[in-house]
Amino acid sequence: TEEIQQILSTLGIKDMNPSYGTGQEYGSVQGGTQKAIHSPIDGQYLATVQYATREEYDKVIGAAQKAFVEWRQVPAPKRGEIVRQIGNKLREYKEPLGKLVTLEMGKIYQEGLGEVQEMIDICDFAVGQSRQLYGKTIVSERPEHQMLEKYQPLGIIGIISAFNFPVAVWSWNAMLAAICGDVCVWKPSEKTPLCAIACQHIAAQVLKENNLPEGIFSFINGDAELGKWMAEDKRVPLVSATGSTRMGKSVAQTVAGRLGKSLLELGGNNAIIMTANANIEMAMRATLFGAVGTCGQRCTTTRRLIIHDSIYDNVKDRLVKAYGGLSIGNPLKADTLVGPLIDQEAVQGFTNALESVQKEGGKLLTGGDVLSLNGLEGGNYVQPAIVEAENSYQMVQEETFAPILYLIKYSGDVMNAIDIQNDVKQGLSSAIFSDNVQETETFLSFRGSDCGIANVNIGTSGAEIGGAFGGEKETGGGRESGSDSWKVYMRRQTNTINYSQELPLAQGIKFDV
Ligand code: NAD
Protein backbone atom coordinates (compact mmCIF):
# COMPACT_ATOMS: atom_id res chain seq x y z
CA THR A 1 0.00 0.00 0.00
CA GLU A 2 2.84 2.34 0.82
CA GLU A 3 4.46 1.60 -2.51
CA ILE A 4 1.29 2.34 -4.42
CA GLN A 5 0.71 5.56 -2.49
CA GLN A 6 4.20 6.65 -3.40
CA ILE A 7 3.67 5.92 -7.10
CA LEU A 8 0.32 7.68 -7.14
CA SER A 9 1.74 10.73 -5.41
CA THR A 10 4.71 10.83 -7.82
CA LEU A 11 2.15 10.89 -10.60
CA GLY A 12 0.31 13.69 -8.82
CA ILE A 13 -2.82 11.62 -8.13
CA LYS A 14 -4.31 12.66 -4.82
CA ASP A 15 -7.69 11.11 -5.13
CA MET A 16 -8.86 7.95 -6.85
CA ASN A 17 -12.26 9.44 -6.98
CA PRO A 18 -13.11 11.65 -8.87
CA SER A 19 -11.25 9.65 -11.41
CA TYR A 20 -12.43 11.06 -14.73
CA GLY A 21 -9.85 13.79 -14.95
CA THR A 22 -8.30 16.55 -12.99
CA GLY A 23 -10.72 19.37 -13.73
CA GLN A 24 -14.17 20.27 -12.53
CA GLU A 25 -16.12 19.39 -15.58
CA TYR A 26 -17.54 16.08 -14.43
CA GLY A 27 -17.60 16.47 -10.67
CA SER A 28 -17.08 13.50 -8.38
CA VAL A 29 -18.22 9.98 -9.02
CA GLN A 30 -20.99 9.49 -6.53
CA GLY A 31 -23.18 6.52 -6.85
CA GLY A 32 -21.57 3.42 -8.33
CA THR A 33 -20.30 0.15 -6.94
CA GLN A 34 -17.01 0.22 -5.08
CA LYS A 35 -14.28 -2.15 -6.14
CA ALA A 36 -11.18 -2.99 -4.12
CA ILE A 37 -8.07 -3.75 -6.15
CA HIS A 38 -5.50 -6.28 -4.91
CA SER A 39 -2.09 -6.98 -6.37
CA PRO A 40 -1.68 -10.35 -8.10
CA ILE A 41 1.88 -10.39 -6.71
CA ASP A 42 0.91 -11.04 -3.11
CA GLY A 43 -2.77 -10.27 -2.78
CA GLN A 44 -2.04 -7.00 -1.05
CA TYR A 45 -4.74 -4.35 -1.07
CA LEU A 46 -3.85 -1.50 -3.43
CA ALA A 47 -6.79 0.89 -3.59
CA THR A 48 -10.54 1.17 -3.99
CA VAL A 49 -12.15 2.62 -7.08
CA GLN A 50 -15.73 3.43 -7.83
CA TYR A 51 -17.79 2.48 -10.86
CA ALA A 52 -19.80 5.13 -12.61
CA THR A 53 -23.58 5.09 -12.60
CA ARG A 54 -25.61 5.37 -15.76
CA GLU A 55 -26.18 9.04 -15.04
CA GLU A 56 -22.47 9.66 -14.65
CA TYR A 57 -21.78 7.76 -17.84
CA ASP A 58 -24.20 10.03 -19.70
CA LYS A 59 -22.47 13.06 -18.25
CA VAL A 60 -19.11 11.88 -19.54
CA ILE A 61 -20.49 11.18 -23.00
CA GLY A 62 -22.15 14.61 -23.00
CA ALA A 63 -18.87 16.33 -22.11
CA ALA A 64 -17.07 14.31 -24.79
CA GLN A 65 -19.62 15.39 -27.40
CA LYS A 66 -19.04 19.00 -26.47
CA ALA A 67 -15.27 18.58 -26.52
CA PHE A 68 -15.44 17.01 -29.98
CA VAL A 69 -16.96 20.16 -31.47
CA GLU A 70 -13.97 22.13 -30.23
CA TRP A 71 -11.25 19.54 -30.87
CA ARG A 72 -12.11 18.82 -34.49
CA GLN A 73 -11.45 22.48 -35.27
CA VAL A 74 -7.88 22.26 -34.05
CA PRO A 75 -5.60 21.64 -37.07
CA ALA A 76 -4.28 18.09 -37.10
CA PRO A 77 -0.57 19.01 -36.62
CA LYS A 78 -1.60 21.07 -33.58
CA ARG A 79 -3.45 18.06 -32.25
CA GLY A 80 -0.19 16.20 -32.82
CA GLU A 81 1.53 18.76 -30.61
CA ILE A 82 -0.78 17.79 -27.72
CA VAL A 83 0.06 14.14 -28.29
CA ARG A 84 3.76 15.06 -28.32
CA GLN A 85 3.36 16.62 -24.89
CA ILE A 86 1.61 13.49 -23.61
CA GLY A 87 4.50 11.42 -24.95
CA ASN A 88 6.95 13.65 -23.08
CA LYS A 89 5.08 13.23 -19.81
CA LEU A 90 5.02 9.47 -20.34
CA ARG A 91 8.80 9.60 -20.78
CA GLU A 92 9.09 11.52 -17.54
CA TYR A 93 6.93 9.04 -15.63
CA LYS A 94 8.09 5.87 -17.39
CA GLU A 95 9.45 4.22 -14.26
CA PRO A 96 6.56 4.80 -11.83
CA LEU A 97 4.09 3.89 -14.55
CA GLY A 98 5.98 0.71 -15.43
CA LYS A 99 6.03 -0.21 -11.77
CA LEU A 100 2.31 0.45 -11.44
CA VAL A 101 1.65 -1.89 -14.38
CA THR A 102 3.69 -4.55 -12.60
CA LEU A 103 1.98 -4.03 -9.24
CA GLU A 104 -1.53 -4.09 -10.60
CA MET A 105 -1.26 -6.52 -13.52
CA GLY A 106 1.67 -8.67 -12.43
CA LYS A 107 3.87 -8.67 -15.54
CA ILE A 108 7.60 -8.43 -14.83
CA TYR A 109 9.01 -4.92 -14.44
CA GLN A 110 10.95 -5.12 -17.73
CA GLU A 111 7.68 -5.80 -19.52
CA GLY A 112 5.93 -3.07 -17.50
CA LEU A 113 8.55 -0.61 -18.73
CA GLY A 114 8.20 -2.04 -22.24
CA GLU A 115 4.50 -1.35 -22.18
CA VAL A 116 5.07 2.28 -21.21
CA GLN A 117 7.70 2.52 -23.97
CA GLU A 118 5.05 1.28 -26.38
CA MET A 119 2.86 4.22 -25.33
CA ILE A 120 5.76 6.61 -25.94
CA ASP A 121 6.41 5.02 -29.34
CA ILE A 122 2.81 5.34 -30.46
CA CYS A 123 2.79 8.98 -29.35
CA ASP A 124 5.82 9.62 -31.58
CA PHE A 125 4.17 7.74 -34.41
CA ALA A 126 0.93 9.70 -33.99
CA VAL A 127 2.78 13.03 -33.96
CA GLY A 128 4.29 12.21 -37.35
CA GLN A 129 0.99 10.88 -38.61
CA SER A 130 -0.72 14.13 -37.65
CA ARG A 131 0.90 15.74 -40.69
CA GLN A 132 0.05 12.81 -42.93
CA LEU A 133 -3.72 12.35 -42.88
CA TYR A 134 -3.47 11.97 -46.60
CA GLY A 135 -6.44 11.67 -48.87
CA LYS A 136 -6.33 11.16 -52.63
CA THR A 137 -6.98 13.02 -55.82
CA ILE A 138 -8.79 10.93 -58.39
CA VAL A 139 -9.10 11.67 -62.10
CA SER A 140 -12.65 12.18 -63.27
CA GLU A 141 -14.24 10.70 -66.40
CA ARG A 142 -15.90 14.07 -67.03
CA PRO A 143 -14.17 17.15 -68.53
CA GLU A 144 -13.16 19.89 -66.10
CA HIS A 145 -14.09 17.81 -63.10
CA GLN A 146 -11.93 16.48 -60.34
CA MET A 147 -12.45 14.04 -57.56
CA LEU A 148 -11.01 13.98 -54.07
CA GLU A 149 -11.04 11.59 -51.21
CA LYS A 150 -10.84 13.11 -47.75
CA TYR A 151 -10.79 11.84 -44.21
CA GLN A 152 -12.88 13.59 -41.57
CA PRO A 153 -13.03 13.12 -37.79
CA LEU A 154 -15.55 10.55 -36.63
CA GLY A 155 -16.61 11.67 -33.15
CA ILE A 156 -16.47 9.78 -29.87
CA ILE A 157 -14.31 6.65 -29.86
CA GLY A 158 -15.27 4.19 -27.13
CA ILE A 159 -12.27 2.19 -25.95
CA ILE A 160 -12.89 -1.05 -24.06
CA SER A 161 -9.60 -2.61 -22.97
CA ALA A 162 -8.36 -5.88 -21.49
CA PHE A 163 -6.38 -6.37 -18.29
CA ASN A 164 -3.23 -7.78 -19.88
CA PHE A 165 -2.12 -4.59 -21.63
CA PRO A 166 -3.58 -2.11 -19.17
CA VAL A 167 -1.96 0.98 -20.69
CA ALA A 168 -0.66 0.26 -24.22
CA VAL A 169 -3.99 -0.63 -25.81
CA TRP A 170 -5.49 2.68 -24.71
CA SER A 171 -2.61 4.61 -26.24
CA TRP A 172 -2.77 2.71 -29.54
CA ASN A 173 -6.34 3.86 -29.90
CA ALA A 174 -6.40 7.17 -28.09
CA MET A 175 -3.30 8.78 -29.59
CA LEU A 176 -4.27 7.99 -33.18
CA ALA A 177 -7.89 8.94 -32.55
CA ALA A 178 -6.72 12.23 -31.06
CA ILE A 179 -4.67 13.30 -34.07
CA CYS A 180 -7.60 12.28 -36.26
CA GLY A 181 -9.73 14.86 -34.43
CA ASP A 182 -11.75 12.40 -32.37
CA VAL A 183 -12.34 12.32 -28.65
CA CYS A 184 -12.07 9.16 -26.55
CA VAL A 185 -13.99 7.61 -23.71
CA TRP A 186 -11.99 4.79 -22.16
CA LYS A 187 -13.43 1.95 -20.17
CA PRO A 188 -10.47 0.00 -18.87
CA SER A 189 -10.63 -3.56 -17.56
CA GLU A 190 -12.21 -3.72 -14.12
CA LYS A 191 -9.09 -5.68 -13.11
CA THR A 192 -6.66 -2.82 -13.86
CA PRO A 193 -8.32 0.55 -13.21
CA LEU A 194 -5.34 2.11 -11.40
CA CYS A 195 -3.12 2.02 -14.49
CA ALA A 196 -5.94 3.68 -16.38
CA ILE A 197 -6.41 6.38 -13.74
CA ALA A 198 -2.68 7.13 -13.99
CA CYS A 199 -2.74 7.46 -17.80
CA GLN A 200 -5.91 9.48 -17.72
CA HIS A 201 -4.34 11.78 -15.19
CA ILE A 202 -1.36 12.41 -17.45
CA ALA A 203 -3.53 13.11 -20.49
CA ALA A 204 -5.82 15.37 -18.45
CA GLN A 205 -2.86 17.36 -17.14
CA VAL A 206 -1.69 18.06 -20.68
CA LEU A 207 -5.18 19.16 -21.71
CA LYS A 208 -5.35 21.48 -18.75
CA GLU A 209 -1.94 23.00 -19.47
CA ASN A 210 -3.16 23.75 -22.97
CA ASN A 211 -6.58 25.09 -21.94
CA LEU A 212 -8.36 22.35 -23.80
CA PRO A 213 -11.56 20.65 -22.63
CA GLU A 214 -11.19 17.59 -20.42
CA GLY A 215 -13.62 15.68 -22.58
CA ILE A 216 -11.01 15.09 -25.28
CA PHE A 217 -9.65 12.19 -23.25
CA SER A 218 -12.24 10.76 -20.87
CA PHE A 219 -12.18 7.75 -18.70
CA ILE A 220 -14.86 5.88 -16.88
CA ASN A 221 -14.67 2.96 -14.49
CA GLY A 222 -16.97 0.00 -14.67
CA ASP A 223 -17.37 -3.63 -15.61
CA ALA A 224 -18.95 -5.42 -18.58
CA GLU A 225 -22.25 -3.63 -17.99
CA LEU A 226 -20.63 -0.28 -18.74
CA GLY A 227 -19.04 -1.80 -21.84
CA LYS A 228 -22.54 -2.78 -22.96
CA TRP A 229 -23.81 0.78 -22.49
CA MET A 230 -21.07 1.93 -24.79
CA ALA A 231 -21.81 -0.74 -27.39
CA GLU A 232 -25.48 0.31 -27.43
CA ASP A 233 -24.80 4.03 -27.49
CA LYS A 234 -25.54 5.78 -30.80
CA ARG A 235 -23.43 8.72 -29.64
CA VAL A 236 -20.35 6.49 -29.94
CA PRO A 237 -19.77 5.92 -33.68
CA LEU A 238 -16.78 3.60 -33.17
CA VAL A 239 -16.26 1.09 -30.37
CA SER A 240 -12.75 -0.30 -30.19
CA ALA A 241 -12.85 -3.42 -28.03
CA THR A 242 -9.93 -5.54 -26.90
CA GLY A 243 -10.52 -8.75 -24.98
CA SER A 244 -11.92 -12.24 -25.26
CA THR A 245 -13.73 -13.53 -28.32
CA ARG A 246 -16.83 -13.96 -26.18
CA MET A 247 -16.82 -10.27 -25.33
CA GLY A 248 -16.10 -9.36 -28.96
CA LYS A 249 -19.07 -11.31 -30.26
CA SER A 250 -21.35 -9.52 -27.84
CA VAL A 251 -19.94 -6.06 -28.66
CA ALA A 252 -19.94 -6.74 -32.43
CA GLN A 253 -23.57 -7.81 -32.45
CA THR A 254 -24.75 -4.90 -30.36
CA VAL A 255 -22.80 -2.30 -32.34
CA ALA A 256 -23.90 -3.86 -35.66
CA GLY A 257 -27.50 -3.70 -34.41
CA ARG A 258 -27.27 0.09 -34.57
CA LEU A 259 -25.03 -0.02 -37.68
CA GLY A 260 -22.13 1.50 -35.77
CA LYS A 261 -18.50 0.60 -36.38
CA SER A 262 -16.49 -1.72 -34.22
CA LEU A 263 -12.77 -2.42 -34.13
CA LEU A 264 -12.16 -5.79 -32.55
CA GLU A 265 -8.90 -7.15 -31.10
CA LEU A 266 -9.79 -10.52 -29.62
CA GLY A 267 -8.25 -13.80 -28.57
CA GLY A 268 -5.43 -15.66 -30.28
CA ASN A 269 -4.23 -19.27 -30.50
CA ASN A 270 -0.79 -18.60 -31.83
CA ALA A 271 1.66 -21.16 -33.13
CA ILE A 272 5.32 -21.41 -34.00
CA ILE A 273 6.27 -23.89 -36.70
CA MET A 274 9.73 -25.40 -36.33
CA THR A 275 10.77 -27.13 -39.51
CA ALA A 276 13.70 -29.51 -39.99
CA ASN A 277 15.61 -26.46 -41.26
CA ALA A 278 15.07 -24.35 -38.15
CA ASN A 279 17.85 -22.70 -36.20
CA ILE A 280 16.86 -24.57 -33.07
CA GLU A 281 18.77 -22.35 -30.69
CA MET A 282 16.96 -19.24 -31.89
CA ALA A 283 13.62 -20.99 -32.09
CA MET A 284 13.97 -22.18 -28.49
CA ARG A 285 14.60 -18.66 -27.21
CA ALA A 286 11.65 -17.27 -29.15
CA THR A 287 9.41 -20.06 -27.88
CA LEU A 288 10.38 -19.48 -24.27
CA PHE A 289 9.70 -15.74 -24.42
CA GLY A 290 6.50 -16.34 -26.36
CA ALA A 291 5.12 -19.10 -24.16
CA VAL A 292 5.97 -18.01 -20.62
CA GLY A 293 6.46 -14.24 -21.03
CA THR A 294 3.73 -12.26 -19.21
CA CYS A 295 2.92 -15.66 -17.68
CA GLY A 296 1.16 -16.72 -20.89
CA GLN A 297 -1.19 -13.74 -20.75
CA ARG A 298 -0.42 -12.00 -24.01
CA CYS A 299 -2.92 -12.16 -26.84
CA THR A 300 0.10 -13.18 -28.94
CA THR A 301 1.42 -15.77 -26.47
CA THR A 302 2.83 -18.88 -28.17
CA ARG A 303 0.29 -21.58 -27.32
CA ARG A 304 1.18 -24.24 -29.90
CA LEU A 305 4.54 -25.45 -31.13
CA ILE A 306 4.32 -27.44 -34.34
CA ILE A 307 7.55 -29.39 -34.69
CA HIS A 308 8.92 -31.52 -37.50
CA ASP A 309 9.26 -35.15 -36.41
CA SER A 310 12.97 -35.24 -37.28
CA ILE A 311 13.77 -32.69 -34.52
CA TYR A 312 10.81 -33.31 -32.22
CA ASP A 313 12.54 -35.27 -29.44
CA ASN A 314 15.51 -32.95 -29.38
CA VAL A 315 13.30 -29.84 -29.08
CA LYS A 316 11.06 -31.48 -26.50
CA ASP A 317 13.95 -32.47 -24.24
CA ARG A 318 15.57 -29.07 -24.45
CA LEU A 319 12.32 -27.26 -23.73
CA VAL A 320 11.50 -29.39 -20.72
CA LYS A 321 14.99 -28.69 -19.40
CA ALA A 322 14.65 -24.96 -20.00
CA TYR A 323 11.28 -24.89 -18.20
CA GLY A 324 12.99 -26.48 -15.20
CA GLY A 325 15.22 -23.42 -14.90
CA LEU A 326 12.56 -20.70 -15.11
CA SER A 327 12.66 -18.20 -12.29
CA ILE A 328 9.10 -17.72 -11.11
CA GLY A 329 8.26 -15.14 -8.49
CA ASN A 330 8.00 -11.49 -7.63
CA PRO A 331 7.81 -9.64 -10.96
CA LEU A 332 9.48 -6.59 -9.42
CA LYS A 333 12.70 -8.55 -8.88
CA ALA A 334 15.24 -8.24 -11.67
CA ASP A 335 15.94 -11.96 -12.12
CA THR A 336 12.30 -13.06 -12.31
CA LEU A 337 11.10 -14.19 -15.74
CA VAL A 338 7.61 -15.39 -14.83
CA GLY A 339 5.31 -13.42 -12.56
CA PRO A 340 1.82 -14.28 -11.34
CA LEU A 341 -1.45 -14.78 -13.18
CA ILE A 342 -3.96 -11.97 -12.81
CA ASP A 343 -6.29 -13.68 -10.30
CA GLN A 344 -7.46 -16.94 -8.77
CA GLU A 345 -9.98 -17.42 -11.54
CA ALA A 346 -7.10 -17.51 -14.03
CA VAL A 347 -5.29 -20.06 -11.83
CA GLN A 348 -8.43 -22.18 -11.86
CA GLY A 349 -8.64 -21.82 -15.65
CA PHE A 350 -5.04 -23.07 -15.92
CA THR A 351 -5.59 -26.17 -13.77
CA ASN A 352 -8.95 -26.95 -15.38
CA ALA A 353 -7.45 -26.77 -18.87
CA LEU A 354 -4.62 -29.10 -17.88
CA GLU A 355 -7.04 -31.56 -16.39
CA SER A 356 -9.30 -31.51 -19.46
CA VAL A 357 -6.51 -31.85 -22.00
CA GLN A 358 -5.11 -34.84 -20.15
CA LYS A 359 -8.54 -36.46 -20.25
CA GLU A 360 -8.50 -35.97 -24.02
CA GLY A 361 -5.17 -37.82 -24.23
CA GLY A 362 -2.67 -34.99 -23.74
CA LYS A 363 0.56 -35.85 -21.91
CA LEU A 364 1.81 -33.39 -19.32
CA LEU A 365 5.59 -33.20 -19.72
CA THR A 366 6.42 -30.60 -17.11
CA GLY A 367 4.86 -27.94 -14.87
CA GLY A 368 1.20 -27.55 -14.05
CA ASP A 369 1.54 -26.95 -10.31
CA VAL A 370 -0.07 -24.12 -8.43
CA LEU A 371 2.68 -22.50 -6.37
CA SER A 372 2.64 -20.91 -2.98
CA LEU A 373 5.78 -18.79 -2.74
CA ASN A 374 7.44 -17.66 0.45
CA GLY A 375 6.37 -14.17 1.37
CA LEU A 376 4.02 -14.02 -1.62
CA GLU A 377 1.34 -16.37 -0.29
CA GLY A 378 -1.55 -14.25 -1.54
CA GLY A 379 -0.15 -14.26 -5.12
CA ASN A 380 -1.41 -16.25 -8.12
CA TYR A 381 1.63 -18.26 -9.18
CA VAL A 382 1.75 -21.36 -11.35
CA GLN A 383 4.47 -23.51 -12.88
CA PRO A 384 4.25 -23.07 -16.68
CA ALA A 385 3.29 -26.33 -18.36
CA ILE A 386 4.23 -28.21 -21.53
CA VAL A 387 1.77 -30.75 -22.88
CA GLU A 388 2.15 -33.16 -25.79
CA ALA A 389 -1.12 -32.95 -27.68
CA GLU A 390 -3.05 -33.21 -30.91
CA ASN A 391 -4.26 -30.06 -32.60
CA SER A 392 -7.79 -31.43 -32.74
CA TYR A 393 -8.19 -31.63 -28.95
CA GLN A 394 -10.87 -29.29 -27.74
CA MET A 395 -8.55 -27.67 -25.20
CA VAL A 396 -5.90 -27.06 -27.86
CA GLN A 397 -8.54 -25.33 -29.96
CA GLU A 398 -9.37 -22.93 -27.11
CA GLU A 399 -7.34 -19.99 -25.85
CA THR A 400 -6.54 -20.68 -22.19
CA PHE A 401 -5.12 -17.41 -20.92
CA ALA A 402 -2.26 -19.00 -18.95
CA PRO A 403 1.17 -20.52 -19.66
CA ILE A 404 0.35 -23.84 -21.31
CA LEU A 405 2.40 -24.79 -24.36
CA TYR A 406 1.10 -27.61 -26.57
CA LEU A 407 3.67 -29.60 -28.55
CA ILE A 408 2.31 -30.96 -31.81
CA LYS A 409 4.29 -33.22 -34.12
CA TYR A 410 4.10 -33.03 -37.92
CA SER A 411 5.81 -34.98 -40.65
CA GLY A 412 6.61 -34.42 -44.31
CA ASP A 413 6.34 -31.10 -46.03
CA VAL A 414 5.81 -27.63 -44.55
CA MET A 415 2.24 -27.48 -45.89
CA ASN A 416 1.30 -30.13 -43.34
CA ALA A 417 2.51 -27.84 -40.55
CA ILE A 418 0.74 -24.82 -42.07
CA ASP A 419 -2.53 -26.74 -42.29
CA ILE A 420 -2.26 -27.60 -38.59
CA GLN A 421 -1.37 -24.02 -37.71
CA ASN A 422 -4.43 -22.67 -39.57
CA ASP A 423 -6.80 -25.29 -38.21
CA VAL A 424 -8.08 -23.23 -35.26
CA LYS A 425 -10.83 -20.62 -34.97
CA GLN A 426 -8.50 -17.75 -34.09
CA GLY A 427 -6.11 -15.96 -36.45
CA LEU A 428 -3.90 -13.53 -34.57
CA SER A 429 -0.18 -14.35 -34.68
CA SER A 430 2.00 -17.05 -36.23
CA ALA A 431 5.65 -17.74 -36.88
CA ILE A 432 7.93 -20.12 -38.71
CA PHE A 433 11.53 -20.97 -37.91
CA SER A 434 13.36 -22.16 -40.97
CA ASP A 435 16.43 -21.23 -43.01
CA ASN A 436 14.85 -22.69 -46.13
CA VAL A 437 13.43 -20.02 -48.42
CA GLN A 438 10.86 -22.37 -49.99
CA GLU A 439 9.41 -23.10 -46.58
CA THR A 440 9.39 -19.52 -45.35
CA GLU A 441 7.96 -18.08 -48.58
CA THR A 442 5.25 -20.75 -48.64
CA PHE A 443 4.38 -19.77 -45.08
CA LEU A 444 4.04 -16.13 -46.18
CA SER A 445 2.11 -16.92 -49.37
CA PHE A 446 -1.63 -17.11 -50.10
CA ARG A 447 -1.64 -20.71 -48.99
CA GLY A 448 0.45 -19.97 -45.93
CA SER A 449 -0.51 -18.61 -42.54
CA ASP A 450 -4.05 -17.21 -42.31
CA CYS A 451 -3.16 -14.92 -39.39
CA GLY A 452 -2.97 -11.13 -39.19
CA ILE A 453 0.65 -11.50 -38.11
CA ALA A 454 3.01 -13.97 -39.78
CA ASN A 455 6.68 -13.86 -38.79
CA VAL A 456 9.85 -15.56 -39.99
CA ASN A 457 12.58 -16.47 -37.53
CA ILE A 458 10.96 -14.32 -34.86
CA GLY A 459 8.40 -15.47 -32.30
CA THR A 460 4.68 -14.75 -32.17
CA SER A 461 4.72 -12.02 -29.53
CA GLY A 462 6.41 -8.67 -29.06
CA ALA A 463 5.19 -6.72 -32.09
CA GLU A 464 6.55 -3.29 -32.98
CA ILE A 465 4.09 -0.42 -33.16
CA GLY A 466 4.97 0.51 -36.76
CA GLY A 467 2.95 -2.33 -38.27
CA ALA A 468 -0.81 -2.79 -38.24
CA PHE A 469 -1.68 -5.06 -35.33
CA GLY A 470 -4.57 -7.50 -35.25
CA GLY A 471 -5.90 -10.78 -36.51
CA GLU A 472 -8.40 -12.63 -38.64
CA LYS A 473 -11.27 -15.05 -37.98
CA GLU A 474 -12.37 -15.06 -34.34
CA THR A 475 -9.64 -12.57 -33.48
CA GLY A 476 -12.08 -10.06 -34.91
CA GLY A 477 -10.43 -8.57 -38.02
CA GLY A 478 -9.46 -5.20 -36.49
CA ARG A 479 -6.13 -3.48 -37.03
CA GLU A 480 -4.60 -0.98 -34.65
CA SER A 481 -1.37 0.92 -34.16
CA GLY A 482 0.88 1.47 -37.18
CA SER A 483 0.63 1.41 -40.98
CA ASP A 484 -2.69 2.96 -42.09
CA SER A 485 -4.67 1.90 -39.00
CA TRP A 486 -5.49 5.58 -38.40
CA LYS A 487 -8.07 5.43 -41.17
CA VAL A 488 -10.50 3.46 -39.04
CA TYR A 489 -10.80 6.45 -36.69
CA MET A 490 -12.00 8.69 -39.53
CA ARG A 491 -14.87 8.79 -41.96
CA ARG A 492 -14.00 8.75 -45.62
CA GLN A 493 -15.60 11.25 -47.94
CA THR A 494 -15.55 11.39 -51.74
CA ASN A 495 -15.86 14.81 -53.33
CA THR A 496 -16.61 15.50 -56.99
CA ILE A 497 -15.97 19.08 -58.10
CA ASN A 498 -17.19 20.50 -61.37
CA TYR A 499 -15.29 23.56 -62.58
CA SER A 500 -16.90 23.67 -66.04
CA GLN A 501 -20.06 25.47 -67.14
CA GLU A 502 -21.74 22.20 -68.15
CA LEU A 503 -23.39 19.50 -66.12
CA PRO A 504 -22.43 16.20 -67.74
CA LEU A 505 -23.68 13.07 -65.96
CA ALA A 506 -21.50 10.12 -65.14
CA GLN A 507 -21.70 7.03 -67.34
CA GLY A 508 -22.74 9.37 -70.21
CA ILE A 509 -26.38 9.34 -69.11
CA LYS A 510 -28.58 11.78 -71.05
CA PHE A 511 -31.23 13.58 -69.00
CA ASP A 512 -32.14 16.71 -70.92
CA VAL A 513 -35.08 18.68 -69.61
P1 NAD B 1 -12.42 -9.85 -21.23
O2 NAD B 1 -13.11 -10.16 -22.51
O3 NAD B 1 -12.84 -10.56 -20.02
O4 NAD B 1 -12.57 -8.28 -20.90
C5 NAD B 1 -12.09 -7.29 -21.77
C6 NAD B 1 -12.88 -6.01 -21.58
O7 NAD B 1 -14.21 -6.19 -22.07
C8 NAD B 1 -13.05 -5.58 -20.13
O9 NAD B 1 -12.92 -4.18 -20.07
C10 NAD B 1 -14.46 -6.02 -19.79
O11 NAD B 1 -15.06 -5.27 -18.77
C12 NAD B 1 -15.17 -5.80 -21.10
N13 NAD B 1 -16.36 -6.64 -21.36
C14 NAD B 1 -16.56 -7.94 -21.02
N15 NAD B 1 -17.73 -8.38 -21.51
C16 NAD B 1 -18.29 -7.34 -22.18
C17 NAD B 1 -19.49 -7.18 -22.92
N18 NAD B 1 -20.37 -8.18 -23.07
N19 NAD B 1 -19.76 -5.98 -23.49
C20 NAD B 1 -18.88 -4.96 -23.38
N21 NAD B 1 -17.72 -5.06 -22.67
C22 NAD B 1 -17.43 -6.24 -22.09
O23 NAD B 1 -10.86 -10.07 -21.51
P24 NAD B 1 -9.63 -10.03 -20.48
O25 NAD B 1 -9.66 -11.24 -19.64
O26 NAD B 1 -9.54 -8.70 -19.83
O27 NAD B 1 -8.40 -10.10 -21.50
C28 NAD B 1 -7.91 -11.27 -22.06
C29 NAD B 1 -8.39 -11.47 -23.47
O30 NAD B 1 -8.08 -10.35 -24.27
C31 NAD B 1 -7.71 -12.64 -24.16
O32 NAD B 1 -8.65 -13.34 -24.91
C33 NAD B 1 -6.70 -11.96 -25.08
O34 NAD B 1 -6.28 -12.73 -26.17
C35 NAD B 1 -7.45 -10.75 -25.48
N36 NAD B 1 -6.57 -9.68 -25.96
C37 NAD B 1 -6.50 -9.45 -27.29
C38 NAD B 1 -5.64 -8.49 -27.78
C39 NAD B 1 -5.53 -8.22 -29.24
O40 NAD B 1 -4.98 -7.20 -29.60
N41 NAD B 1 -6.02 -9.07 -30.12
C42 NAD B 1 -4.86 -7.74 -26.90
C43 NAD B 1 -4.96 -7.99 -25.53
C44 NAD B 1 -5.83 -8.97 -25.08
Residue 65 burial (10 A CB sphere; 0-12, 13-18, 19+)? middle
Cα dihedral 123, 127, 130, 133 sign: negative
Strands 381-382 and 370-371: antiparallel
pLDDT in the model for residue 231: 98
pLDDT in the model for residue 150: 97
Question: Ligand 1 centre from 433 Cα, in Å?
Answer: 30
Ligand 1: atom nearest CA of 254 is 19
Is the separation of the CB atoms in 411 and 419 below 8 Å? no
pLDDT in the model for residue 30: 61
Strands 429-433 and 480-481: unpaired
pLDDT in the model for residue 383: 98
Is the separation of the CB atoms in 108 and 117 below 8 Å? no
Q: With a 6 A CB cut-off, is 164 part of the ligand 1 pocket?
A: yes
pLDDT in the model for residue 21: 44
122, 187, 242: residue to mutate for ligand 1 pocket, most atoms within 8 A of CB: 242
169, 186, 247: residue to mutate for ligand 1 pocket, most atoms within 8 A of CB: 247
Task: List the catalytic residues.
Answer: 265
Q: With a 6 A CB cut-off, is 475 part of the ligand 1 pocket?
A: yes
pLDDT in the model for residue 22: 39
Q: For the chain (length 513 residues), average pLDDT per consecutive 10?
A: 84 65 49 88 92 88 95 98 98 97 98 98 98 97 98 98 98 98 96 93 93 92 95 98 98 98 98 98 97 98 98 98 97 97 98 98 98 96 98 98 98 98 98 98 98 98 95 98 97 98 95 88
pLDDT in the model for residue 20: 52
User: How confident is the model over 331-384, as pLDDT tens digits?
Assistant: 999 999 999 999 999 999 999 999 999 999 999 999 999 999 999 999 999 999
pLDDT in the model for residue 95: 97
Strands (E), 214-260: 217-219, 238-242
Sequence-separated (6 or more) residues with CB below 8 Å from residue 148: 135, 136, 137, 138, 494, 495, 497
Q: With a 6 A CB cut-off, is 477 part of the ligand 1 pocket?
A: no
